[in-house]
Amino acid sequence: SVDFFNRINLLYGTVCEYCTEQTCPTMSGGPKYEYHWCDGQTYKKPTALPAPNYIALLMEWVEAQINDENIFPVKVGVPFPKTFLPTVKKVLSRLFRVFVHVYIHHFDKMVALGAEAHVNTCYKHFYYFVTEYNLVDKKELEPLRDMTAKICH
């Protein structure tokens, strides 16, 4: 999860100047998929946000999860909590949404920046990992199904 967080954060960083409240007023993956933010604290109900705001909150939330030693223990001999697997699944499902947004709304920029091969490699690594270990629900993967069929099979 930590490695994927770092890679996806870096990938989004390459296109974030093109992802603004004006260009991306909703966090979406095309017309069929819209994501609403809910963290149970500041946003108690799922809330529609511009993509850059959603992604900033998502990255802050993921960072808080992976830095919480009660969830991700770092000391030898400290067991992982019962909430570890559900938390990892939620983290990875949410990170997948960044791939969805980048591929559907900013892939042309990735190509123009010469980052197509890199983003595809990162995506394949992520996809193979989450599908091998059943960490992201199949319906969450739907927005990139066609692209995944082309580059991962």
Confidence category of residue 153, pLDDT binned at 50, 70, 90: confident
Quick check: 1 pLDDT over 90? no
Whole-model pTM above 0.85? yes
Architecture of the domain delimited by 2-152? Up-down Bundle (1.20)
Tell whether residue 118 is among the known ligand binding residues. no
What is the tens place of the pLDDT at every residue in 56-108? Answer: 999 999 999 999 999 999 999 999 999 999 999 999 999 999 999 999 999 99
Concatenate the DSSP letters of all residues of the chain into one string: -HHHHHHHHHHHHHHGGG--TTT-SS-BSSTT-B-EE--SSS--S-EE--HHHHHHHHHHHHHHHHT-TTTS--STTPPPPTTHHHHHHHHHHHHHHHHHHHHHHHHHHHHHTT-HHHHHHHHHHHHHHHHHTT-S-HHHHGGGHHHHHHHH-
Question: What is the domain partition of the chain in residue ranges?
Answer: 2-152
Tell whether residue 122 is among the known ligand binding residues. no
Tell whether residue 106 is among the known ligand binding residues. yes
Tell whether residue 152 is among the known ligand binding residues. no
pLDDT at 35: 98
What is the tens place of the pLDDT at every residue in 98-115? Answer: 999 999 999 999 999 999
